[in-house]
Structure 1
Amino acid sequence: MQLVSVRIITADLQRIVPFYERITGIPITMLSDDFGELRTAACTLAIGSTRTLAFFDGEIARPAENRTAILEFRVDDVDAVFERLADFIAPCLVQAPKTMPWGNRSLLFRDPDGNLINFFTPGAPPRAD
């Protein structure tokens, strides 16, 4: 088994697609008017409009209601990324870069639908002396 994609559902593709392109610097490939993919070497972030839900049985997802998952992007230098994006993400900033107890340096903010995003740079875990 291989995890290859995470999909978010949105009611506003026109707002969320440019947001992800701006924060990642990666263009999103739109495969239809209702579905696009942000492809990286490790995984794909799929973005679907609420209209794509009609192809599934039942009410499977509601946009802008996620409060449990975090979309995580590994970056070379989280402080440099924060400096570049600070003004853009200021309205949705959750936490400026901070070193976590496990050694990662993390920047937390939300996308326009409220999904939590973590840009992080791995670091050496603190030593227990």
Structure 2
Amino acid sequence: MDFVSIRIITDDIGRLVGFYEGITGVQAAWGNEDFAELRTTHGTLAIGSTRTVALFAPGSARPADNRTVIIEFLVDDVDAVYERLKDTVQDFVNEPTTMPWGNRALLFRDPDGNMVNVFTPVTPEAIERFSR
């Protein structure tokens, strides 16, 4: 089994795709007006409109109703990302903070309320864990 992507269901796909394009610098690949993907080297963030839910399991997903998943992006310099995003992101959970496991992390919510973590490994152990 190989992990491929995480999909977010939203009522406003244009807004959410634009948000993630802005924070990641990755251009979305649109499959159609109801589905887009932001493909990175190691994973894909898929975004689908609520209209797609009826195609695979009607009523199984509700947009803007998640408080359990954190979408994470590895970045070279979390402090620089914070400076770049501080005027565009509306809902920061914290400022860049060094965590006990060795990552410097910045948490915020996307326009649908999903938690996003951008982080940089800063201790030797964390740097080794994420070396590619």
In structure 1, give the amino acid aligned to 2:93. V
Q: Secondary structure at the match of 2:60?
A: coil
Higher mean C-alpha displacement, 116-125 vs 2-11: 116-125
Mapped to 1, the partners of 2:25 and 2:6 lie a distance apart of 18
Matches within 5 A, 1:51-70: 51-70=51-70
- Residue 59 of structure 1 and its aligned partner are, at CA, apart by 1.9
Q: Deviations over 1:100-129 (max 9, x none)?
A: 011100000000000000000012159xxx
Please give the secondary structure, in 2, of the residue aligned with 1:71: strand
* 1:25 positional shift: 0.5
**Equivalent residue pairs, number:** 125
| Counterpart residue number, 1:32 | 32
The equivalences for 1:1-129 within 5 A come to 1-89=1-89, 91-124=90-123
Cα deviation digits, residues 42-74 of structure 1 (max 9, x gap): 000000000001111342110000000000000
Over the aligned positions, Cα root-mean-square deviation in angstroms equals: 1.2
Runs of 4+ in 1 over 2 A off after TM superposition: none
Query: Helix, strand or coil: the match of 1:76?
Result: coil
CA distance in 2, matches of 1:92, 1:57: 31
Once residues 57 and 23 of structure 2 are traced to their aligned partners in structure 1, the CA distance between those partners, rounded to angstroms, is 33
Q: Which has the higher mean CA deviation after the structures are superposed, 96-105 or 55-64?
A: 55-64
1:57 and 1:85 mapped to 2: Cα distance? 36
User: What is the aligned-residue identity percentage?
Assistant: 61
